[in-house]
Chains A and B, each alone.
Chain A
Amino acid sequence: MNSYLNPNQKWLARVNPTLKFLTIAAIFMIYLFVHNFNVMLVSSFAFFIFYLFCNGFSRKLSFWLVTMTFILSVFSASAMVFFGKGTHMLFEWHFMTISIESMTRGLHLGLRTFVYGMLGLIFASTTEPVPFFYSCMQQLRIPPKYAYSFLAAFRLIPIMIEEYRIIRAAMKVRGMSEEKGLLAFYRRVKRYAIILLAQAIRRAQRIAVAMEAKQFSMVKKRTYYYKIGFSRYDLIFTTLILFIIIGAWIFSSYVPLTPYNNVLERSY
């Protein structure tokens, strides 16, 4: 069988990509309706541990991405903490009104953002576009013309970046990057956008014509270079995820770490 796997990859890379994506998409929906701060606290801790053991990034990149996610979580909490509604005031200063309610709600939001960020990183670090779209065609029955278009489009990214460098260098040679001010900035952005988009569309159109000629859009009787199925890793993955979600819920109903069981309640 043709293998798309690199032998050094983590076990999560062997989980069926569609299954992994749908599971993570389902977890999103579940946590959208969790308003219990304790459950959120335990789950975010559990998913963080899961990420630490299972992510596919190098250590340095992982450190920066986690830091970014953490900062993002703090930021997404800030508006709610500072300006949320609430009656039990902790701190007041001009516009700023921090109450117990707004604080727990804000922290809840922050943790939720953190969980979603961790899940996104787990998925992104262990899923290659090629197996993902092959799996979409085979398991989700996505028409090949969509899946192959995505794959071809991904191949164009390095070319676009190269083109961006060339345009920048060409403009530098002509002294066009020297101009300052808002209007010059607008003109520069417009110039880049037009050139990059126009070139990308031309190239995409040419590639598409070639792909259509080679029957990439054919649906009937298709064979696939990579066959993607299910394995025991899929079972391990779903069991672990279920264990975290249910475990966090049971743990916090027996051992509530904080008194805030519903962040949407108006009074405690």
Chain B
Amino acid sequence: MSKRLKLTDILVTIVIAIVFGLIYKISGPLYDIVKILGFQAEQLTYGIYFIAAPVAMLIIRKPGVALLAEVAAAMMEVLFAGSGGIINFYYGIIQGAFSEIIFLIFAYKKFNLPVTILSGLAAAVGSYILDYYYGYLVDLAGWNILLNVVFRFLGTMVISGFIAYFLVKALEKTGVTNLVRPASKDDYDVLNK
């Protein structure tokens, strides 16, 4: 079974990314409003920006899907004048790449809840690389950085870990995932019986 991305995989990934891209664009202003309090409460919702990669990967299960989904969602935000502008593109690349690495480590064979949570957390780690340069994060007061990190990781675990995983579980029940997933070894075993 070919592991390379076909047009079908790409189009489905991008469509999933666009659904989440719309959600990113809508949640952008809400996120910004909570920001003014300064107590980093907005970080609890930061995890929403990592969700496209694990959801697309859990559905399609092919190498490169996580990166493509996150970049496509970011690109869509840039083209439709999402808040933040061009910076979203870079965040998309770095978060997608970090998310992808986790699935790569498990050789694209494990798609369970812990791996999903790990991929979300990896994206969060990736986002801090840009934050370090962009947001002068280390120059905040110590307790404020701590709040930022704790909130972001907690939110990520819930949103792009648990919610992403159970969303795809619910989608599996509708049967659409069978349309786009590559045939697994189990499927071939059934034929050989």
Contact = CB atoms under 8 A, between A and B. Distances in A.
A88 to B, nearest CB: 14
Contact of B139 (A105, A120, A157, A211): A105
Contacts of B35: 75-76, 78-79
A123 interface: yes
B174 A208 contact: no
B10 A157 contact: no
Interface in B63-91: 72, 75, 78-90
A75 B39 CA distance: 12
Contacts of B107: none
B140 A68 contact: no
A84 B148 CA distance: 13
A52 interface: no
B133 interface: yes
B85 A153 contact: no
Nearest to A57: B81
B113 interface: no
B10 to A, nearest CB: 4
A120 B78 contact: yes
Interface stretch (B16-24, B119-127, B150-158, B185-193): B16-24
A17 to B, nearest CB: 10
A32 to B, nearest CB: 5
Contacts of A83: 38, 140-141, 144
B78 A209 contact: no
A203 B32 CA distance: 34
A153 B35 CA distance: 32
Contact of B11 (A33, A113, A153): A153
Interface in A179-203: 190, 193-194, 196-198, 200-203
B11 A118 contact: no
A170 interface: no
B102 to A, nearest CB: 22
Chain B facing A: main interface SS = helix
B167 A120 contact: no
A217 B179 contact: no
A149 B18 CA distance: 11
Contact of B167 (A65, A80, A194): A194
B136 A80 contact: yes
B87 A204 contact: no
Contact of B12 (A157, A201, A212): A201
Interface string B17-55: 111001000000100110110101000000000000000
17 contacts: A68-B29, A72-B83, A72-B84, A75-B35, A84-B141, A109-B136, A113-B84, A116-B85, A124-B78, A124-B79, A194-B167, A197-B167, A198-B171, A201-B177, A204-B8, A205-B12, A217-B7
Interface of A: 24-25, 27-28, 32-33, 65, 68-69, 71-72, 74-76, 78-80, 82-85, 95, 97, 101-102, 105, 109, 112-113, 116-121, 123-125, 127, 129, 132, 145-146, 148-150, 152-154, 156-157, 160, 190, 193-194, 196-198, 200-205, 207-209, 211-212, 216-217, 263-264
Interface of B: 5-8, 10-12, 14-19, 22, 29, 32-33, 35-36, 38, 40, 59, 72, 75, 78-90, 133-136, 139-141, 143-144, 167, 170-171, 174, 176-177, 179-180
Interface pairs A-B: 8 shortest CB-CB: A120-B85, A124-B81, A208-B8, A204-B15, A75-B35, A149-B11, A208-B11, A153-B14
Given A33-B133, A84-B139, 10 more contacts: A105-B136, A105-B139, A116-B86, A118-B85, A156-B18, A193-B167, A198-B171, A209-B8, A216-B7, A263-B136
